[in-house]
Amino acid sequence: MNVLVIGSGGREHAICRTFGKSSGVTRLFCANGNAGVAQVAECVPIKPDDILALADFATQNAIDLTFVGGETSLALGIVDEFESRGLRIIGPCKEAAQLEASKSFAKDFMARHGVPTAKFTTSHSPAFAILELESGDFGDENSPVVVKADGLAAGKGVVVAKNRAEAVAAINDMASLVGTAAAEKIVLEECMFGREVSLLMFADGEDIALMPPTRDHKRIGEGDTGPNTGGMGTITDASLLTTDELQTIIDTMIRPTLHGCVREGFRFRGILFLGIMMTAQGPKLLEYNVRFGDPETQAILVRLETDLVDICEAMLDGTLGSIDIKWKLGSSACVVLASEGYPSKPRTGDMISGLENVSNVEVFHSGTALSEPPAGAGGSTQPQFITAGGRVLGVTATGDDLATALSTAYSAASKISFDGMQYRRDIGK
Ligand code: AMP
Ligand code: GLY
């Protein structure tokens, strides 16, 4: 089987490594990959938003299975394009991808199908959003409120404002922060409090198979301080959700969501990702994502024991309910090593050292490149990795328990270095 993975981050490196372990895979391609991905897959220079070129590539190279990493291609309708050409692809169709691509669509969908979520309203201009705030529906001028751009904004479109003045500033700044298209509509939400947990699942349109629950640490600084990032580290651990909490989430969120998709005339096939807040009133849905998370995937896939190709076949054939997906017992942790200046102005081009010294971990590359060999190096064949993005590496370990997974990941992280390297020491705390 020839497999194509779409994307270029740590998530896609983890997906490629997982496909690389499958006996069913003959050739593995990644569009467009990175220097780490290039060690396990043939990288193809096509960007995720060029869905026609990706479909042409898949046809010309007899790709049997395509796996989409990120939301950009899904929101553009890559699945519809591939399926119209008879190509097999894992991901939701364009209509289902709106669950992530439009916050107002997602919130209206939750409301239509009774999925518990924060109270919200959608405004079609900044001025109307400010009027909504002043109406008092979201509390007084001292109440926290969450301001969200409707469209895709790579994590930059959400501001948890401490009070009305901050919310007004966020509304006024949103278009310059995320672009006018993503900020065409503004969603205001009641601010919820509680523990956050993410629950991802494989879905075949009818059945689902849950993955281990996971937690992401989104802020750059320890103790959850500083600006939001794409994610600085993740854990998987059974203690994140009790059996009762999991059952409540299945009953109040997952079932209504899957039924809702069917009732609205589309099916959800691919990876469904629920961002959940465990509030004093029970679990409430923060958001849907329609794909694997980054770096959730790194911590999840290191525990997957079943062949990913078999799971993909089951998703495509609608037989997910009849396969038994096995996970390594215990826990896992992924610690992200980021560049100086991340998230606002990441510096790139720093030489990475120590990768050869680590053991018992998988190091997934998020933003790396290979350096030009130094002049007069005399034909050294060792690749020299340099930083090429904000998040650079995801050091990922499993363990019989969370403490073991974390100490293994941190011990390896301490052996890797590059100028300006920053990482959080409190992942999983
Ligand atoms: P989202 O992309 O919608 O999940 O938002 C990103 C992050 O913002 C979430 O992981 C939460 O930490 C925070 N957030 C979003 N919506 C709310 C809310 N209604 N109340 C409190 N925090 C929120
Ligand atoms: N780590 C958060 C996300 O992938 O959306």
Per residue, the 3-state secondary structure of the chain, as one string, reads: CEEEEEECCHHHHHHHHHHHCCCCCCEEEEEECCCCHHHCCEEECCCCCCHHHHHHHHHHCCCCEEEECCHHHHHCCHHHHHHHCCCCEECCCHHHHHHHHCHHHHHHHHHHCCCCECCEEEECCHHHHHHHHHCCCCCCCCCCEEEEECCCCCCCCEEEECCHHHHHHHHHHHHHHHCCCCCCCEEEEECCCCEEEEEEEEEECCCEEECCCEEECCEEECCCEEEECCCCEEEECHHHCCHHHHHHHHHHHHHHHHHHHHHCCCCCEEEEEEEEEEECCEEEEEEEECCCCCCHHHHHHCCECCCHHHHHHHHHHCCHHHCCCCECCCEEEEEEEECCCCCCCCCCCCECECHHHCCCCEEEECCEEECCCCCCCCCCCCCCEEECCCEEEEEEEEECCHHHHHHHHHHHHCCCECCCCECCCCCCC
Q: Determine contact, residues 159/130, Cβ cutoff 8 Å.
A: no
Quote the tokens at residue 146. 């969450």
Ligand of minimum distance to the alpha carbon of 286 = 1
Relative to beta strand 27-32, strand 2-7 is: parallel
**Which of 109, 95, 119 lies closest to 253 in space, CA to CA?**
109
Distance 337 CA to ligand 2 centre (A): 16
- Among 99, 296, 335, residue to substitute to test ligand 2 (most atoms within 8 Å of Cβ): 296
| pLDDT reported for residue 398 | 98
Cα–Cα distances (Å) from 139 to 89, 135, 189, 337, in that order, read 45, 9, 11, 39
pLDDT of amino acid 376: 66
State if residue 307 touches ligand 2 by the CB under 6 angstroms criterion: no
What atom of ligand 1 comes closest to residue 192's alpha carbon? 20
pLDDT given for residue 362 in this prediction: 98
Ligand showing the shortest atom-to-Cα distance for residue 106: 1
Give residue 378's pLDDT: 62
**Ligand 2 nearest atom to the CA of residue 234, by list position:** 1
146, 218, 220: residue to mutate for ligand 1 pocket, most atoms within 8 A of CB: 146
The residues, ordered by sequence, that sit 6+ positions from 31 with a Cβ below 8 Å of its Cβ are 4, 5, 6, 7, 43, 44, 45, 46, 47, 48, 54, 57
Q: Which of 289, 290, 336 to mutate to test the pocket of ligand 2 (most atoms within 8 A of CB)?
A: 289
149 lines ligand 1 (CB under 6 A): no
Question: Closest Cα to atom 2, ligand 2: which residue?
Answer: 293
Packed helices 94-101 and 103-112: angle between N→C axes, nearest 10 degrees = 100
Cα of 97 vs centre of ligand 1, distance in Å, is: 19
**Domains and their CATH numbers in the chain:** 2-91 (3.40.50.20), 119-190 (3.30.1490.20), 195-322 (3.30.470.20), 331-372+383-413 (3.90.600.10)
Tell the residue nearest (CA) to atom 6 of ligand 1: 158
Ligand 2 center from residue 234 Cα (angstroms): 10
Per-residue pLDDT of the chain (429 residues; tens, 9 = 90+): 999 999 999 999 999 999 999 999 999 999 999 999 999 999 999 999 999 999 999 999 999 999 999 999 999 999 999 999 999 999 999 999 999 999 999 999 999 999 999 999 999 999 999 999 999 999 999 999 999 999 998 878 899 999 999 999 999 999 988 899 998 999 999 999 999 999 999 999 999 999 999 999 999 999 999 988 999 999 999 999 999 999 999 999 999 999 999 999 999 999 999 999 999 999 999 999 999 999 999 999 999 999 999 999 999 999 999 999 999 999 999 999 999 999 989 999 999 999 999 999 999 999 999 997 766 666 556 669 999 999 999 999 999 999 999 999 999 999 999 999 999 999 999
Q: Are the C-beta atoms of 44 and 55 separated by less than 8 Å?
A: no
State if residue 287 touches ligand 2 by the CB under 6 angstroms criterion: no
What pLDDT is attached to residue 381? 62
Residue 111: per-residue pLDDT: 98
- Measured CA to CA, the distance from residue 9 to residue 28 in angstroms comes to 16
Q: Could you tell me the pTM of the whole model?
A: 0.96
Distance 237 CA to ligand 1 centre (A): 21
